[in-house]
Structure 1
Amino acid sequence: MSSVSPSSAAPARAPDLTPQDWLEAGQSLLRRGGLRALKLRPLSEELRVSTGSFYHHFADFDAYQGQLARYFAEAQLTGLIEALERAAPDPIDRIRLLGQTVRRRGSSRLAIAMRAWAESDPRARAAVERHDSLMLDFLARCLTDAGFERNDAEVRAYGLITLGLSKVHAPHLDMETLFDRLLAIMTHRAPVE
């Protein structure tokens, strides 16, 4: 009697996918490999489906890229901002929660990849500009709510955003500690004379 080993199971097929699933998968590829990683076959492999299922949601890859760019700047970001505003009544706590969310999601790597893409695609450029406008406004509103004048709040907001986009190699610095310390600096008031 011969023994037969069960064959290794094929990867589980992804459940019915939504356009958002495809957009999230595209962002995952952008985070890991930039625009050169954003191709149909790797995208399908990421979701464990055939390339044909892509066309149930998108007319072509160009249309997909346009939706991916808009997703970065609109639905995803506005949803995050609304969630932060509900989650933390204190404006500085909202900024701190944003920093934690950015680190957990790898949003800085995505923002850097989007900026590289924006160099060659006007849709990505418009998305990055919209993203920055929404994020700067959110941070400036938080800082204004914390008592800073609007002009000062905008400069401080810009400083906080640039930290998230920093590619400086500093292995001795823990990003969470660095963010918390820079947030303390950005929200500190000079003594009144």
Structure 2
Amino acid sequence: MVERRTRKPAATRLTADDWTAAAVEAMAGGGLAAVAVEPLAARLGATKGSFYWHFANRDALIEAALLRWEADHTDAVITMVEAQPDPLSRLRTLIGTVFDATAVPGAAIELAMLATAAHPHVAPVLARVTQRRLAYTARLFEGLGCSPQEAGHRALLAVSAYLGHAQLAHATPGLVPGSAQLRRTYVDRIIGLLTGP
């Protein structure tokens, strides 16, 4: 009787997107210093060879991760917000979404970007993302009847409030509204302050 040998199923091949997602997750947990090939390979159950199949070096992975952060945390949010019917609904959705995001794992990615703002790969992406967020938020305020100058001021306040909230939620979570209901009430108050006379 001939014994048949069964082949083990081939391991799932990792894609560049798998490596990029792992790098974004690592950045959220430990900043740019956490984006290291060997620990990421171990986390993914892969070899360094798999990494080098997709990326020339660590810098290329960091650049891909930064673009992914921009797409997921700015482009996708704006696309979702734009589906709302009017400027006030858009503003409420934007502020509610970003404040809710500070309560989920991975929210520290925003803080990691700020902490490494001077890094040559981070600086241009962070500047572009921040300018886009401010400009988009200002357009929402203009849609509510604010002059361009006033809309810019209110947008800066809104983005600053979000970043401050993200920092507090990360460093001292007990000081910010913890439940979804408390965050909704908090967001309503912020909207009232930002849209008032």
Task: Normalising by structure 2, report the TM-score.
Answer: 0.75
CA contact (8 A) 1:40 1:61 kept: yes
Unaligned 5+ runs, structure 2? 1-10
User: C-alpha offsets along residues 113-166 of structure 1, whole Å, 9 cap, x if unaligned?
Assistant: 0111222x1220111000001111111111111221111111111111112211
Separation in 2 of the partners of 1:133 and 1:107?
Answer: 22
Q: Counterpart of 1:83?
A: 80
Partner of 2:94: 98
The answer to whether structure 1 residue 144 and structure 2 residue 147 are counterparts is no
**Cα distance between partner residues in 2 of 1:180 and 1:28:** 31
Quote the offset at 1:31 in angstroms: 1.4
Q: Is the 8 A contact 2:29 2:106 kept in 1?
A: no
Paired letter, 2:117? A
Q: Distance in 2 between matches of 1:101 and 1:65?
A: 26
Deviation track 1:69-111 (CA, whole Å, cap 9, x = no partner) reads 23333576223312321x2122222233233433336575212
Q: Equivalent residue for 2:23?
A: 26
* Percent of residue pairs bearing the same amino acid type: 29
Q: Using the alignment, how far apart are the partners of 2:94 and 2:43 within structure 1?
A: 27
Q: Distance in 2 between matches of 1:113 and 1:62?
A: 16
User: What is the CA-CA distance between 1:172 and the residue it aligns to?
Assistant: 4.1
| Contact 1:72/1:127 (8 A) holds in 2 | no
Residue equivalent to 1:174: 177
Residues 19-59 of structure 1 deviation map (CA, whole Å, 9 limit, x = unaligned): 33322222211112222222223323443433322222211
The answer to whether 1:124 aligns with 2:122 is: yes
Secondary structure of 2:81's counterpart equals helix
Structure 1 CA distance for aligned equivalents of residues 128 and 114 of structure 2: 12
Q: 1:183 aligns with which of 168, 181, 191?
A: 191
On the 8 A contact 1:72/1:131 being kept in 2, the answer is no
1:50–1:94 CA distance, 2 compared to 1 (3 A): farther
Structure 1 gaps of 5+ residues are: 1-12
Which letter maps to 1:125?
A
1:61 corresponds in structure 2 to: 58
Match of 1:160 in 2: 158
In structure 2, the CA distance between the partners of 1:135 and 1:41, relative to structure 1 (3 Å rule), is same
- Would you say 1:71 and 2:79 are equivalent positions? no
**Change over 3 Å in CA distance of 1:88–1:59 after alignment to 2:** same
CA contact (8 A) 1:73 1:130 kept: no
Q: Please say if residues 118 and 124 of structure 1, whose CA atoms lie closer than 8 Å, have aligned partners that are also in contact.
A: yes
Amino acid at match of 2:33: R
Aligned length: 174
In 2, the alpha carbon distance for the partners of 1:141 and 1:126 equals 22
State how far apart, in whole Å, the 1-side matches of 2:18 and 2:113 are: 18
1:31/1:110 contact within 8 Å kept? yes
Between stretches 65-74 and 155-164, larger displacement belongs to 65-74
